[in-house]
């Protein structure tokens, strides 16, 4: 009980200091970050670090992203609650849990079977019944459930993958990091009246998107690592 109270206190502090104070003030967004127990998405030995201002390892050389970056990417999607959302890179399932509160349905794709299985089980345990986790190469999207009003890619691509742009609904928004192992920029893509546009948001550092429309081991250069 005491430990739970301490996590709640740390989460409240995280929302205030790392998210709201940096300018993200949408009450629905802040409520979602206050609700989702980030420590439950981490291996036991790392749980006490869950509310720190940084990414953390989740196994398979992959990471759960920094809370502020998860919040910023979510806010760029401008979710109202009625959207069908695609996430590439389930990882721990934390981002999917946030999306599950803010949208109608979520399809989340993970290439590692172990992460997909653990993420799916965790999301079910936490009652995120509107999320479906699929183990597949998400660089090709998930055409079975397209179109999507919002798409979020939580791994770095060399360029916005064509299949994802094709699966974006009219009026839809796609957010993804674009660049290589030396650094990337977060891009926001929109489709308005059939026309695709993008803007650069800020520099970021993510693990690589692999797969057919992602980075090969050789081209990325270094092992997967997020700063």
162-200: b (≥16 Cβ within 10 Å) or e: ebbbebbeeebbbbbbbbebeebebbbbebeeeeeeeee
Using the rule CB under 6 A, is 154 a contact of ligand SAM?
yes
Using the rule CB under 6 A, is 89 a contact of ligand SAM?
yes
> Which of 71, 76, 110, 205 touches ligand SAM (CB under 6 A)?
110
Q: Are 158 and 220 in contact (CB under 8 A)?
A: no
Using the rule CB under 6 A, is 62 a contact of ligand SAM?
yes
Q: Which is nearer to ligand SAM, 79 or 195 (CB)?
A: 79
For residue 79, what are the CA distances in angstroms to 85, 89, 149, 152? 9, 19, 9, 12
Q: Which is nearer to ligand SAM, 52 or 137 (CB)?
A: 137
Q: Which is nearer to ligand SAM, 70 or 193 (CB)?
A: 70
Q: Which is nearer to ligand SAM, 138 or 172 (CB)?
A: 138
Using the rule CB under 6 A, is 207 a contact of ligand SAM?
yes
Decide if 181 is catalytic: no
Using the rule CB under 6 A, is 100 a contact of ligand SAM?
no
Q: Which stretch binds ligand SAM (CB under 6 A): 30-38, 75-83, 92-100, 180-188?
A: 92-100
Distance from chain centroid for Cα 129: 17
Using the rule CB under 6 A, is 137 a contact of ligand SAM?
yes
In whole angstroms, what is the distance from residue 86 CA to residue 96 CA? 9
> Which of 15, 86, 99, 109 touches ligand SAM (CB under 6 A)?
109
Nearest to 98 by CA among 109, 111, 85: 85
Q: Which stretch binds ligand SAM (CB under 6 A): 7-15, 26-34, 44-52, 133-141?
A: 133-141
SS (H, E, C) 166-186: HCEEEEEEEEEEEEECCEEEE
In whole angstroms, what is the distance from residue 143 CA to residue 136 CA? 12
Q: Which two tokens stand for residue 41?
A: 């998405």
**Total binding residues for ligand SAM by CB under 6 A?**
27
Using the rule CB under 6 A, is 141 a contact of ligand SAM?
no
Task: Report, in Å, the least distance between residue 186 CB and ligand SAM.
Answer: 13
Q: Which two tokens stand for residue 90?
A: 């389930």
Hey, is 210 helix, strand or coil? coil
Interacting residues toward ligand SAM by CB under 6 A: 62-65, 88-89, 91-92, 94-95, 109-112, 115, 137-139, 154-155, 206-207, 209-211, 214, 226
Residues forming the active site? 65
């Amino acid at each position: 009980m005491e430990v739970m109270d301490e996590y709640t206190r740390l989460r409240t502090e995280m929302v205030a200091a790392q998210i709201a104070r940096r300018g993200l003030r949408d009450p629905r967004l802040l409520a979602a970050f206050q609700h989702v127990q980030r420590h439950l998405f981490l291996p036991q030995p790392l749980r006490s670090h869950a509310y720190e201002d940084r990414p953390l390892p989740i196994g398979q050389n992959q990471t759960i992203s920094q809370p502020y970056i998860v919040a910023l990417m979510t806010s760029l999607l401008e979710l109202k609650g009625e959207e069908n959302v695609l996430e590439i890179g389930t990882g721990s399932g934390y981002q999917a849990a946030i999306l599950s509160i803010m949208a109608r349905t979520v399809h989340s794709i993970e290439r590692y079977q172990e992460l997909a299985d653990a993420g799916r089980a965790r999301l079910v345990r936490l009652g995120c019944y509107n999320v479906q986790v699929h183990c597949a190469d998400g660089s090709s999207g998930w055409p079975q459930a397209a179109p999507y009003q919002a798409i979020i890619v939580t791994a770095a691509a060399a360029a916005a993958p064509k299949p994802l742009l094709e699966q974006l609904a009219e009026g839809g928004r796609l957010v993804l990091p674009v660049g290589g192992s030396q650094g990337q920029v977060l891009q926001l893509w929109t489709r308005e009246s059939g026309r695709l546009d993008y803007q650069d948001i800020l520099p970021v550092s993510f693990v690589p998107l692999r797969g057919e429309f992602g980075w090969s081991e050789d081209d990325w250069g270094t092992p997967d690592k997020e700063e």
